[in-house]
């Protein structure tokens, strides 16, 4: 009986650490991907497409990192839900899970469109630029990321911060900061070119805090 109790305690201590590590991995990979894309691709989707020939390696690296960021994000969501446990509010938990999965699905969809554009340009560069394929693909990817995915990220932040206030998984000031940043993402999609970086940076701060909090010695 005592051994079972110790095992349960060890598992509970490992869960937040695993979630924090997953959150850090997700944040770092997504930040690298976003920075590579933002410095290589023009801000507006109506450009001439001249960047395609000179930025192929950077964009391909960014797209290759995104699936691993997504895997880490799924792990991060799972461990956060486990951390909340019996205190989970069904309403906010549903919004939390749904917005996180929608954000991830939209990010993957935009990555697939961008990867398809890169492959098409490598096969038929002239036709991609001359027949509207480039403009269409760029506009679709831009809309998915800057209008829809970024707002789902904001909803995920709001629901996570609300659950944090109710359960105490991280301090209130971090939750209120999350509300402010989420409002920024909700109200400025497409206006601020670097705005998508807000989400992974916020996740990184939360994850580092949770990791450090769980590495501190526990008192009896």
Cα 184 to the center of its chain, rounded Å: 16
Listed residue (32, 47, 28) closest to 142, CA to CA: 47
Does residue 220 lie in a domain region? no
pTM for the predicted model, two decimal places: 0.84
Q: Determine the average pLDDT of the residues in 16-43.
A: 88
Cα 55 to the center of its chain, rounded Å: 23
**Cα 130–131–134 angle (5° rounding)?**
80
Q: Residue 43 above 80 pLDDT?
A: no
66 CB-near residues (< 8 Å, 6+ apart)? 29, 30, 33, 107, 108, 111
Listed residue (218, 205, 197) closest to 38, CA to CA: 197
As for how many domains the chain has, the answer is: 1
Domain carrying residue 136: 2-215
87-130 tens-digit pLDDT: 666 777 788 889 999 999 999 999 999 888 888 888 887 777 77
């Amino acid at each position: 009986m005592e051994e079972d109790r110790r095992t349960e305690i060890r598992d509970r201590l490992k869960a937040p650490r695993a979630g924090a590590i997953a959150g850090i991995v997700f944040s770092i990979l997504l930040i690298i991907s976003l920075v590579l894309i933002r410095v290589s691709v023009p801000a507006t989707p109506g450009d001439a497409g001249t960047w395609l020939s000179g930025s192929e390696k950077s964009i391909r690296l960014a797209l290759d990192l995104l699936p691993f960021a997504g895997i880490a994000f799924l792990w991060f969501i799972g461990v956060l839900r486990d951390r909340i446990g019996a205190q989970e509010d069904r309403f906010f938990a549903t919004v939390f899970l749904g917005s996180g999965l929608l954000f991830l699905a939209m990010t993957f969809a935009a990555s697939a469109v961008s990867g398809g554009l890169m492959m098409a340009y490598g096969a038929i560069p002239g036709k991609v630029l001359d027949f509207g394929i480039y403009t269409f693909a760029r506009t679709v990817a831009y809309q998915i990321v800057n209008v829809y995915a970024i707002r789902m990220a904001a909803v995920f932040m709001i629901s996570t911060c609300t659950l944090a206030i109710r359960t105490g998984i991280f301090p209130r000031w971090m939750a209120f900061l999350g509300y402010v940043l989420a409002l920024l993402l909700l109200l400025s999609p497409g206006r601020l070119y670097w705005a998508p970086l807000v989400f992974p940076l916020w996740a990184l701060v939360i994850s580092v805090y949770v990791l450090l909090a769980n590495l501190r010695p526990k008192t009896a």
